[in-house]
Amino acid sequence: MLLGVGVVTMRNPISSALSLVGTFFCLAGIYAMLGAHFVAVIQVLVYAGAIMVLFIFVIMLLQLRDEEDYSWSEYGPRIIGGMVVSILLCGALVVALSGANQDYGPVGAEFGTIKQIGYLLFGNPESGAIGKYLLPFEAVSALLTVGVVGAVVLGKRKL
């Protein structure tokens, strides 16, 4: 949790990106404890490896520097608003997770296998069924691309 807080509170973009790498490793540990070892390994390889290399490359490309002095009086209302929204989100999370201790029974032998994950993401080629999570998977990839392009456009005022 501290690494996640470090992502949004650190002023140096490289330190923030390295905190994000640590957050990805912690998330991979959570996946491993849940028994999804393949997802944990992919989390480390893809996100902590490849995606973060891309983020670091974009940060270096933008050459971000602190050029102006920030005053607390200017950002005071934003900080208070952010804290209120954070408290509301934490309350909603507690309410949502309060009924989450249900027992769903034993998992099957196929749980967490590469084959099952592939079928859920992309579908079954034998039956022609489309994967249950194909649209969200593609939406996340498009969102990452748009985020990187937006960061470059915002960072470089004159292209």
Supply 152's token pair. Answer: 């470059």
Supply 5's token pair. Answer: 């807080």
DSSP string, 73-141: HHHHHHHHHHHHHHHHHHHHHHHHHTT---------TTTT-HHHHHHHHHEETTTTEEPTTHHHHHHHH
pLDDT in tens for each of the 159 residues of the chain?
A: 678 888 888 878 888 888 888 999 989 998 888 878 888 898 899 888 888 888 888 888 777 665 556 666 677 777 788 788 889 988 888 887 776 666 667 877 777 788 888 888 888 888 888 888 889 889 988 998 898 888 778 777 665
Return the exposure string of 103-118: e unless at least 16 CB atoms fall within 10 Å of the residue's CB, then b: eeeeeeeeebeeeebe
Tell me the C-alpha distance between 122 and 132, whole Å. 8
What global pTM score does this model have?
0.59
CA dihedral for 128, 45, 29, 52, sign (positive or negative): negative
Tokens 């050029």 correspond to 67
Supply 12's token pair. Answer: 């140096």
Q: Which CATH class is domain 1-64?
A: mainly alpha
User: Which pLDDT score, from 0 to 100, does residue 143 have?
Assistant: 92
User: Which pLDDT score, from 0 to 100, does residue 104 have?
Assistant: 67
Q: What are phi and psi of 100, to 5 degrees?
A: -90, 5
User: Which pLDDT score, from 0 to 100, does residue 159 have?
Assistant: 56
Q: Which amino acid appears at position 90 of this protein?
A: C
Q: Where are the domains of the chain?
A: 1-64, 109-159
